[in-house]
Structure 1
Amino acid sequence: MIPEIEKASLQEIQTFQEGKLQELLSYVNTNSKYYKRVFNEKNIDLNAIKTLDDLAKLPVTTKDDLQQYNDDFLCVPKSKIIDYVTTSGTLGDPVTFALTDKDLDRLAYNEAISFACAGITANDVLQLTTTIDRRFMAGLAYFLGVRKLGAGIIRVGAGVPELQWDSILKFKPSYLIVVPSFLLKLIEYAKQHNIDVNTSGIKGAICIGESLRNQDFTLNTLAQKITSQWDIELFSTYASTEMNTAFTECEAQQGGHHHPELIIVEILDDNNQPVPKNHVGELTITTLGVEGMPLLRFKTGDMVKAHTNACTCGRNTLRLGPVIGRKKQMIKYKGTTLYPPAMDNILNDFNDVQSYVIEISHNNIGTDEICIKIASKNTSEEVQHRIKDHFRAKLRVSPKIEFHDSKTIQKLQFPKMSRKPILVIDKRK
């Protein structure tokens, strides 16, 4: 189930996208209060935007724009809205997205081809271990995508290892849709209750919300911990509410595939110019086929690298490497620039570390400080020294380490209204 456009030549893909871009510009100029205003204020001649390179003539859209003018992005009357979702608000106020019936169909198509990308077929049954409620787009998208693919789905929702295992043993799903660190909790529960994970029938996991791979696509520490105990395939996915689109690994597991019928991708530098090939930049997207709230040149805030060499699966689309970090969460610490995901990988190396949050703040001289708050089975000085030594060896920095009980960390990770764990608390202004 590879869409023909994804097997087309790069030139054919570009021509196809340029046609879709023309349709989008006409649509938002007619229906979007926000973009109509921007085009007028900036004296933008839409007739001069013919190619993908011409996108550079358009201003970017930022998260701040979305937060400030949220309702002005809406392109349809309220009577056409079927579903309301909100972003998680990890880096600021949540933004509301309104979806039409057509948008829900597009969401279903996106997830169906994403699952198919990972080798899932109509003969599979998937167990959903994320929430489908609380205005969360992802859970709804997974449900719609599995249904469109013709596979079966078991909606268990977040948490509760006992209920997850009850469903696995009862209904025999072949795949889990899951946050990877939760797989460790399922493994732990299975050990305590004499369940053999490797005879459970689970073939693989579609993983969300946490990175599984290093930049060279080898498994990171978290993924190695999982696969050393549970012989399953792990597939990375990357998506966001604003994109209405997912980048999912195929069976070659060399990055998340771009679906050119759904989204235009740019990787930009700080001056909103394309970065050179094989360089890291900020993922910037233009949505195609979105009816309710389409976006033009939206800067996601995620720092990534694009891979354009041919993939063995037959798709000619670019692939995104693992997210290096959020641009706003970049830390300059004692002469070193780093992002929180680099610290996740180090903390996952320690079996004693049960849970943690990374707290970033400014000190009294205005430079960045890192404090890692940890719930651990072992709070000895020796463990603290080992963690600090590991940080020095891997990242050349040694953050402050604090031990807390697991309830304190749980409260920090799951503030009120949160739909997913918060691992980074940024107190900088």
Structure 2
Amino acid sequence: MIPTIEQASLEEITHYQDEKLRYVLNYLNTHSTYYKRLFQREGVDLQRIHGVQDLPLLPTTSKEQLQQFNWDFLCVPEEEIVDFSTTSGTLGTPVVFGLTDADLERLAYNEMISFQRVGIKKGDRVQIMTTLDRRFMAGLAYFLGLRKIGAGILRIGAGIPQMQWDSIQQFKPKFLVVVPSFLLKMIAYAEEHNIDYNSSSVKVAICIGENLRTAELQDNQLAKRIQEKWNIALYSTYASTEMSSAFTECEAFAGGHQHPALIITEILDDNDHPVPDGQLGELVVTTLGIEAMPLLRYKTGDMVRRHAGPCTCGRNSYRIGPVEGRKQQMIKYKGTTLFPPAMFDVLASYTAIEHYQIEISSTAVGTDDIRILISSKQQNSALLKEIKDSFQAKLRVIPNVEFEREEILISRIYNPLSRKPIYLVDKRE
């Protein structure tokens, strides 16, 4: 079922969001210590804000401000908070987000319509192969959304291919929620243990945390490697704790659809000016329908492209392409600007690479340096040269590439204190 607002005309969607924005502004001015103070300091006249087109008249909010004034963003009494979620802390101190009962219901609705977009319906079995604990909002959201649909949920959690396959063989789920690179480990385990994965019950994987598409919305190397082996549909979904909303692909695989009832988005350049559709910019969000900690013009740091125009699935809401990088993780290396996901895609094309981690550091003269550690059974100079040649051909840079022992890399990538695999270590100040 497609929400009515997503099939409405662009004019109707804009009018709808204009009304929602005005409500959010009045709500923040009444209940948020942080935004009330910000509006007064910046001399914001809310009477001048009539709708989405007036967003540039309002100040933006950064991650640093969230970290510094975390609890000043709270709009309800603390006793109304029923769940405490935190960001992953990838770019600094984790931020706490409190959710009310109504916020949890909104979170469930968001995931319900996201999962319905990929075909999940009542009675389908879905195996969740991601972190469910440690105040991770996404794991909670998946459970709540699937429960709202009426699906059968298998809460396995992250890692351990044997346990995942045991559950698949016993309960026969059709859908997986998974970090896509882990599917390669599932395939390797199946081949080592004579499991016919193409004859298994699994037909669809909803993939989080890593890109499946290029900037042109074509399958990237990771997606190709998976589907060369395993005949399953791969849907990409992108979200963050700050947004409490997801952008999930439909069957057109042409970007993740916006939920107009839940979020207003802008794509801005370095000077906070809108970029044309299809061009790279920073995703800036205004959340709708959140009670506890709504955000106004929050700069996510994620670099994306917006794709407008009607989709073949019948939705008129625009789509967001893959996260091509995080603004704070931009690398300037020997005259070339690049983001880590582009390097991940080069490394994903090599079946000989079993594990990898990229280190970014500063040189003595203040420039960026790249060091890539890999583990492989083929530890020879020919492989290193081939990888460097591939980087030069695709990204016009030649990073330092070194072999590292597998056990050392595994311990660094899968740190028990982290909710996500650590493929990038940024040592720059």
- Both structures adopt the same fold (TM-score exceeding 0.5): yes
**Hey, what's the Cα distance between the residues in 2 that align with 1:154 and 1:104?**
20
Alignment partner, residue 37 of structure 2:
37
My pick for the range that moved more, 284-293 or 273-282, is: 273-282
Q: Structure 2: which amino acid aligns with 1:36?
A: K
Alignment partner, residue 327 of structure 1:
327
Structure 1 SS opposite 2:354: strand
Structure 1 SS opposite 2:375: strand
Structure 2 SS opposite 1:353: coil
Alignment partner, residue 166 of structure 1:
166
**Hey, what's the Cα distance between the residues in 2 that align with 1:290 and 1:393?**
46
Alignment partner, residue 383 of structure 1:
383
**Hey, what's the Cα distance between the residues in 2 that align with 1:210 and 1:358?**
15
Structure 2 SS opposite 1:182: helix
Structure 2 SS opposite 1:228: helix
Q: CA offsets per residue over residues 178-200 of structure 1, 9 Å max, x none? A: 00010011111111111100111
List runs of 5+ in structure 1 lacking aligned partners.
Answer: none
**Hey, what's the Cα distance between the residues in 2 that align with 1:351 and 1:415?**
23
Alignment partner, residue 188 of structure 2:
188
TM (normalized to structure 2)? 0.99
**Hey, what's the Cα distance between the residues in 2 that align with 1:415 and 1:48?**
49
**Hey, what's the Cα distance between the residues in 1 that align with 2:297 and 2:322?**
21
Q: Structure 2: which amino acid aligns with 1:29?
A: N
Alignment partner, residue 84 of structure 1:
84
Alignment partner, residue 60 of structure 2:
60
Q: CA offsets per residue over residues 183-233 of structure 1, 9 Å max, x none? A: 011111111111100111111100000001112222111111111111000
Structure 1 SS opposite 2:212: coil
Alignment partner, residue 399 of structure 1:
399
**Hey, what's the Cα distance between the residues in 1 that align with 2:86 and 2:139?**
12
TM (normalized to structure 1)? 0.99
Alignment partner, residue 313 of structure 1:
313
**Hey, what's the Cα distance between the residues in 2 that align with 1:165 and 1:276?**
45
Matches within 5 A, 1:27-426: 27-426=27-426
**Hey, what's the Cα distance between the residues in 1 that align with 2:411 and 2:14?**
47
Structure 2 SS opposite 1:164: helix
How many residue pairs were aligned?
429
**Hey, what's the Cα distance between the residues in 2 that align with 1:387 and 1:276?**
35
Structure 1 SS opposite 2:229: coil
Q: Structure 1: which amino acid aligns with 2:208?
A: I
**Hey, what's the Cα distance between the residues in 1 that align with 2:270 and 2:154?**
43
Q: Structure 1: which amino acid aligns with 2:213?
A: R
**Hey, what's the Cα distance between the residues in 1 that align with 2:410 and 2:224?**
24
Q: Structure 2: which amino acid aligns with 1:37?
A: R
Structure 1 SS opposite 2:366: coil
Q: CA offsets per residue over residues 126-153 of structure 1, 9 Å max, x none? A: 0000111001011000000000111111
Alignment partner, residue 3 of structure 2:
3
Structure 1 SS opposite 2:82: strand
**Hey, what's the Cα distance between the residues in 1 that align with 2:332 and 2:183?**
32
Instruction: Give the deviation of 1:416 after TM superposition.
Output: 4.9
CA RMSD of aligned residues (A): 0.9
Q: CA offsets per residue over residues 256-294 of structure 1, 9 Å max, x none? A: 000000000100111111112321110000000001100
Q: CA offsets per residue over residues 284-310 of structure 1, 9 Å max, x none? A: 000000011000000000011000021
**Hey, what's the Cα distance between the residues in 2 that align with 1:54 and 1:409?**
49
Instruction: Give the deviation of 1:235 after TM superposition.
Output: 0.1
Structure 2 SS opposite 1:103: helix
Q: Structure 2: which amino acid aligns with 1:28?
A: L
Runs of 4 or more off by more than 6 Å in structure 1?
none
**Hey, what's the Cα distance between the residues in 2 that align with 1:23 and 1:203?**
42
Structure 1 SS opposite 2:306: strand
Instruction: Give the deviation of 1:123 after TM superposition.
Output: 3.3
Alignment partner, residue 21 of structure 2:
21
Q: CA offsets per residue over residues 319-355 of structure 1, 9 Å max, x none? A: 0111111111111111111111011111011111111
Instruction: Give the deviation of 1:417 after TM superposition.
Output: 2.1
**Hey, what's the Cα distance between the residues in 1 that align with 2:114 and 2:248?**
6
Instruction: Give the deviation of 1:79 after TM superposition.
Output: 1.0
Structure 2 SS opposite 1:177: strand
Instruction: Give the deviation of 1:368 after TM superposition.
Output: 0.8
**Hey, what's the Cα distance between the residues in 2 that align with 1:352 and 1:422?**
20
Q: Structure 1: which amino acid aligns with 2:309?
A: N
Q: Structure 1: which amino acid aligns with 2:166?
A: D
List runs of 5+ in structure 2 lacking aligned partners.
Answer: none
Q: Structure 2: which amino acid aligns with 1:284?
A: V
**Hey, what's the Cα distance between the residues in 1 that align with 2:401 and 2:45?**
55
Instruction: Give the deviation of 1:381 after TM superposition.
Output: 0.9
